[in-house]
């Protein structure tokens, strides 16, 4: 157990064992930092004090308004930076403590930015509980399509509309189906969230060369929380035969701090057994997920937040390694900054449903919030708050918060 001289609340997601990377600004331009407790370590300023002598190229990477150049230096580099800062936080004589007024900035005084420049975004459908529940709503006799247990189903999302936590989301307009089989054009009446995790790709692969499942995790820099905002009525009308389009391309939220792959290893847990056995290119040993507690709350306008989901990522059917192996089996290449999301993460209980489509059984059974307040889908001014963390053996590593407030449709 590491002990920091900097006071860190015991329930902080940003313990000394975490130290996630993010992009922040104050009165100076956006640059890279690490989170520790309620503070940000200014990595550009720390570099100027020669805290990272083994990587002279780090100075330029730390001053960029995205983490792509930091990630491109490799996981060996990011681990070196974390170890240097961890050691400095345990040493009362370190430069970090001696120059704390210069190197440590209160989080409440900074603005967080998109942590990376996303070139490509793929959203999977990896939770069996979610896939089964949604399938049961529309195909009660055949909830899972025949392909679902043979490959990680996914769709390619829109990278340009991925936004950082705190970015408001105007209610989208679009075509929705009517009972007479003709469309209407209007603001969505079925706006939903989807609780997900996203794997951040930290190095390029070569086009034409699939990534073996046993090597796939080596391409992951870290993880984020992700909210795949969805307009369900638009989605129902447009998704056949090619899948979601405008029902999901208007906004995808991500948390601002990237938790490194190494910081999450303490929370590895066996993944569910797979039956039938997948093709050899999708097999890897050991198959592991992460034991991470995940939650969603809704905060209506001028009210207090209300917990609507509490679940765990340990039961995801298709692992990150399998997602990457399938994504690249045709020779598709991955690039630094790509995001691969898990899809909605759900459990079996009603409080474990990672979206309102499931929790309200397609809007037929509203979720009760405060006294006299309920939701079938999201209303204007609702704020959705997602959280996630792992906690084991006195060590806590978390993602912080992912927030987004619904605004009225633009005219």
Tokens 């603001």 locate to 187
Return the closest-CA partner of residue 253 out of 344, 382, 386, 388: 386
Return the closest-CA partner of residue 322 out of 292, 290, 294, 285: 285
Distances (CA, A) of 185 to 54, 118, 174, 175, 242: 58, 31, 5, 5, 20
Query: Which entry of 92, 102, 113, 130 is annotated as an active-site residue?
Result: 130
Backbone angles phi, psi at 180, to 5 degrees: -85, 5
Listed in sequence order, the residues at least 6 apart from 183 whose beta carbon sits closer than 8 Å to its beta carbon are 175, 176, 177, 237
The DSSP-derived string for 66-93 is SSHHHHHT-HHHHHHHHHHHHHHHH-TT
Is residue 156 annotated as a catalytic residue, yes or no? Answer: no
- What number of residues does the chain have? 411
Residue 368: beta bridge partners?
374
Tell me if 258 sits within 8 A of 223, measured CB to CB: yes
Q: Residues with catalytic annotation?
A: 130
């Amino acid at each position: 157990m590491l002990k920091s001289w900097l006071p860190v609340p015991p329930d902080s997601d940003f313990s000394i064992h975490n130290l996630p990377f993010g992009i922040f600004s104050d009165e100076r331009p956006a640059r890279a930092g690490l989170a520790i407790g309620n503070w940000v370590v200014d990595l550009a300023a720390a570099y100027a004090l020669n805290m990272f002598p083994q990587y002279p190229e780090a100075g330029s990477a730390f001053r960029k308004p995205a983490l792509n150049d930091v990630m491109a230096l490799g996981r060996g580099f990011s681990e070196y930076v974390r170890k240097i800062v961890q050691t400095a936080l345990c040493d009362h004589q370190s430069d970090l403590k001696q120059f704390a007024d210069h190197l440590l900035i209160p989080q409440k005084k900074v603005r967080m930015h998109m942590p990376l420049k996303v070139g490509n975004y793929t959203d999977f459908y990896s939770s069996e509980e979610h896939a089964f529940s949604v399938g049961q709503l529309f195909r009660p006799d055949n909830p899972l399509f025949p392909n679902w247990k043979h490959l990680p189903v996914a769709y390619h999302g829109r990278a340009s509309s991925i936004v950082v936590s705190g970015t408001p989301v105007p209610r989208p307009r679009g075509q929705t189906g009517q009972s007479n089989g003709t469309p209407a054009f209007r603001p969505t009446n079925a706006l939903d969230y989807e609780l997900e995790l996203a794997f951040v790709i930290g190095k390029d692969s070569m086009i034409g060369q699939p990534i073996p499942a046993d090597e796939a995790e080596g391409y992951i820099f870290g993880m984020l929380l992700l909210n795949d905002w969805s307009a369900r009525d638009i989605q129902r009308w447009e998704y056949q035969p090619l899948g979601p389009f405008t029902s999901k391309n208007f906004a995808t939220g991500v948390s601002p701090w990237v938790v490194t792959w190494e910081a999450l290893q303490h929370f590895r847990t066996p993944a569910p057994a797979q039956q039938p056995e997948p093709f050899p290119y999708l097999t890897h040993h050991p198959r592991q997920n992460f034991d991470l507690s995940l939650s969603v709350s809704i905060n209506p306008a001028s009210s207090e937040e209300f917990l609507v989901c509490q679940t765990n990522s340990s039961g995801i059917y298709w692992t990150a390694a399998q997602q990457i192996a399938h994504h690249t089996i045709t020779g598709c290449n991955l690039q630094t900054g790509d995001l691969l999301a898990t899809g909605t993460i759900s459990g079996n209980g009603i409080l474990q449903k990672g979206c309102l489509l499931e929790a309200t059984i397609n809007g037929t059974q509203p979720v009760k919030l405060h006294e006299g307040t309920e939701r079938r889908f999201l209303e204007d001014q609702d704020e959705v708050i997602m959280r996630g963390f792992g906690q084991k053996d006195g060590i806590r590593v978390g993602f912080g918060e992912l927030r987004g407030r619904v605004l009225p449709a633009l005219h």
